[in-house]
Amino acid sequence: MAQKNLKSKIESLLLVAGKPVSLKEIANNIGKSVAEVQNEINSLIEEYKNRGFRIIKKDEKYLLVSAQENAELVAKFLNEELRYELSAAALETLAIIVYKQPITRAEIENIRGTDCSRILRVLMIRGLIEEVGRKESPGRPILYGTTVKMLTYLGIESEDQLPKMEEIAVI
């Protein structure tokens, strides 16, 4: 019964958090060890595989989200689009950030060969990327990385599900 109670507490915290939560934050709030919380979250992830919601992991933090296969239904219910139409340039820029993060605007522009200011702004407004720090170089340029929302946009639960760079590299 104690394990069921622990799962219930974890579910409640993830449900109301509305943002990614670390294992330490959950453990501190519940009064359990990080190892106990990790075991229960792993168990919940398995239990949710065929349910209408998932627990996804990004940067050692967890978030409760609706299942990707129900996105169209949820969007219709909420009367808003959950999957944005991005241009080919925006998708290309997002892919560069996914595989090279953390990365600066200048580094992205060097790869793409064109200005990316507007595209970075669009990706940030849509919550797919965020500022993750500053590079220790002249001018201390902003470093960009992906967000949990990017995982849901791509319909994956973890960045581990992305193809490896070697698998997609063009020869």
What single-letter DSSP state applies at residue 75?
H
Give strand ranges (E) for 13-67: 21-22, 53-58, 61-66
- Predicted TM-score (pTM) of the model is 0.57
Amino acid at 74: V
Give the DSSP H/E element, type plus range, for residue 129: strand 129-134
Q: What is the pLDDT along the chain (171 residues), one digit of tens a residue?
A: 566 689 999 999 998 887 899 999 999 999 999 999 999 999 999 999 999 999 998 888 999 998 888 888 877 776 554 445 788 899 999 999 999 999 999 999 999 999 998 899 889 888 899 999 999 999 899 999 999 989 888 888 888 888 887 777 664
SS3 86: coil
**Which CA distances in Å does 56 have to 114, 154, 156, 161?**
33, 12, 8, 11
Domains and CATH numbers, the chain: 2-70 (1.10.10.10), 88-168 (1.10.10.10)
